[in-house]
Structure 1
Amino acid sequence: MSATQASTDRSTAAGKVLQILSTFDREHQSQTLSEIAQRTGLALSTAHRVVQELAGWGALERADDGSWHVGLRLWEIASGCPRTQILRDVALPFMQDLYEATHENIQLAVREGTELVFVERIAGHRSVELLTMVGSRFPIGATGMGRVLLAHAPLDIQEAVLDAPLRAWTAHTLTDPKALRAQLDRIRREQLIVSDRQLSESTVAVAAPVRIGRTGPVSAALGIVIAARSASRARGLREPLLRAASGISDELGRRTRTTA
């Protein structure tokens, strides 16, 4: 059970709703009622009642096999999140141009605490398969895009990540705090990272920060993910990536000034 689930007060009606919704994630996109009850610790009868109420509202939907998954109504509400809506609207044309230039996976992510959340992605049918997807979360130190965000995060966030054990996702994952500090320094200097098989043995990522304005605070990270067997292409992807990140940053700055 996640920290979010563990901290939810199950004694309230809202707490039970949040407990159930929080059981759905990338590894548990579809669940039976028994699985939901087991993961939340709720009585089966209570889980059944809350699930039925959520289904009636459209937050959950039932599949033909009787399992439950997140409903369209919940997605509609989440898609209006103001923190990401403007970012996605601004970034998508630049991401589309970047995809047309590279025909590789193009991803956009933001930081939430010590995690990053992927908020947009463009991929072709020949792009390398990824572990990540829109809406998925990963520890901020696990990916190239996450390390871009970590490099520009508040000091307390950086220290929280560097002081905690770093998971080795692959044999290449950087887990030494001293080496990671040095890498974060390079990211701040170069405004870019080439992440070699840090999250998956089959992928290499090139990532850069997206700011609010050319010199404003970092709002997101933009990345290109390619197959590890094509790692030699990474150097040639730096310039188009930086141009796209700069274009998004400029437009975000313009939008901010317009609405201020």
Structure 2
Amino acid sequence: MRHNAQVSPSVTGRVLDVLDAFSADRPVLTLSELSRRAGLPLSTAHRLVRELTDRGALERDERGGYRIGLWLWEVASLAPHGPGLRESAMPFLEDLYEATHQNVQLAVMDGAEVVYLERISGRNAVRIQSRVGGRLPVHATGVGLVLLAYARPEVQEQVLAAPLKRYSPGTLATPESLRRALADVRRDGFAISDGQIEPHVISVAAPVYGADDTVRAAISIVVPKEGTDARSLVPAVRAAARGISRVLGAPRATRVAHDAHRETHRPRR
């Protein structure tokens, strides 16, 4: 968030404004662009950019442009939702990807948005907006519906009370429609997001539980809407989510596996 021009920003605020100037569509910026986008005097931007570059938080290319440096990636890897969750999920995401060679995603919730920790996509996969490290609104994504459905009630009410942006005719943009969708997720244990952001795609998502049996993340598979029976993908997505949950030590995932084993090996009468 940009600082208020009426309030003198701290040094930390100025540094964050510089980093916040970068975006997916503007990954490389000149010094003057950084100054303008961060709302800082050129001299201040020059000093901060020089210090960030010396530290490795920014990198300068041969044309004089700046981009986010590797050091920030190293710091970000220490986040609690970072590599441990991703490494546990990767074998299951890869198996899920092999089923369709479309888009497979792992995401966590941050406020009213989801943050994508991983995405596997084939060369011929349908094009979608999500990317690793990117954010999308919880109300308009499959993973978001799952994460919001199992979030604390006060978090749900905050999202429901805020304006719900409409991205396509299929977006759940009213509190009533979103409440119904969240209730369906809690009842069924999965979400089907039908063309909420991109009208031509459909997403099937399921929750991933942690060691305390609370929902820690969500996974999804995103496929072309035309010619796809979304419900046929539900068993594979839920099985992958249970597998990740089991690796993370979720008691409910272990119970489900044991129940399934007993059912399979129950003696016939």
Scaled by the length of structure 1, what TM-score is found?
Answer: 0.90
Considering only aligned residues, what root-mean-square deviation do their CA atoms show, in Å? 2.0
Q: Secondary structure at the match of 1:37?
A: helix
- Aligned equivalents of 2:8 and 2:72: distance in 1? 21
Q: Report the CA distance between 1:253 and its aligned residue.
A: 1.4
Q: Deviations over 1:145-175 (max 9, x none)?
A: 1111111111111111111111111122121
Write out aligned runs for 1:9-48 (5 A).
11-48=9-46
- Aligned equivalents of 2:3 and 2:197: distance in 1? 27
- Aligned equivalents of 2:210 and 2:237: distance in 1? 17
The residue that corresponds to 2:236 in the other structure is 240
User: Does structure 1 residue 228 correspond to structure 2 residue 228?
Assistant: no
Q: State whether residues 3 and 9 of structure 2, in contact with CA within 8 Å, keep that contact through their aligned partners in structure 1.
A: no
The residue that corresponds to 2:72 in the other structure is 74
Q: Secondary structure at the match of 2:248?
A: helix
Question: Structure 1 7/111 Cα, relative in aligned 2: closer, same or farther at 3 Å?
Answer: farther
Q: State whether residues 196 and 204 of structure 1, in contact with CA within 8 Å, keep that contact through their aligned partners in structure 2.
A: yes
Q: Which residue, 181, 191, 213 being the options, matches 1:216?
A: 213
Q: Secondary structure at the match of 1:141?
A: helix
The residue that corresponds to 1:5 in the other structure is 2
Q: Report the CA distance between 1:204 and its aligned residue.
A: 1.1
- Aligned equivalents of 1:81 and 1:5: distance in 2? 23
Write out aligned runs for 1:46-195 (5 A).
46-195=44-193
Q: Secondary structure at the match of 2:24?
A: coil
Q: State whether residues 25 and 136 of structure 1, in contact with CA within 8 Å, keep that contact through their aligned partners in structure 2.
A: no
Question: Structure 1 41/66 Cα, relative in aligned 2: closer, same or farther at 3 Å?
Answer: same
The residue that corresponds to 1:258 in the other structure is none
**Counterpart amino acid of 1:55?**
T
Question: Which deviates more from structure 2 when the two are superposed, residues 198-207 or residues 177-186?
Answer: 198-207
Q: Report the CA distance between 1:7 and its aligned residue.
A: 7.2
- Aligned equivalents of 1:237 and 1:10: distance in 2? 53
Once the two structures are aligned, what percentage of the paired residues are identical?
44
Larger Rg: 2
Q: Secondary structure at the match of 1:200?
A: coil
Q: State whether residues 76 and 82 of structure 2, in contact with CA within 8 Å, keep that contact through their aligned partners in structure 1.
A: no
Q: Report the CA distance between 1:10 and its aligned residue.
A: 5.9
Q: Secondary structure at the match of 2:109?
A: strand
How many residue pairs match? The answer is 250
Q: State whether residues 10 and 19 of structure 1, in contact with CA within 8 Å, keep that contact through their aligned partners in structure 2.
A: no
Q: Report the CA distance between 1:254 and its aligned residue.
A: 6.0
Q: Deviations over 1:60-90 (max 9, x none)?
A: 1123333221111211221232332211111
Q: State whether residues 118 and 137 of structure 1, in contact with CA within 8 Å, keep that contact through their aligned partners in structure 2.
A: yes
Q: State whether residues 107 and 116 of structure 2, in contact with CA within 8 Å, keep that contact through their aligned partners in structure 1.
A: yes
- Aligned equivalents of 1:10 and 1:71: distance in 2? 27
The residue that corresponds to 2:263 in the other structure is none
**Counterpart amino acid of 2:243?**
G
- Aligned equivalents of 1:68 and 1:148: distance in 2? 37
- Aligned equivalents of 2:59 and 2:200: distance in 1? 34
**Counterpart amino acid of 1:229?**
E
Q: Report the CA distance between 1:22 and its aligned residue.
A: 1.6
Q: Report the CA distance between 1:23 and its aligned residue.
A: 1.6
Question: Structure 1 202/19 Cα, relative in aligned 2: closer, same or farther at 3 Å?
Answer: same
Q: Secondary structure at the match of 1:223?
A: strand
Question: Structure 1 191/14 Cα, relative in aligned 2: closer, same or farther at 3 Å?
Answer: same
Q: Deviations over 1:92-113 (max 9, x none)?
A: 1111111112211110000111
Q: State whether residues 117 and 138 of structure 1, in contact with CA within 8 Å, keep that contact through their aligned partners in structure 2.
A: yes
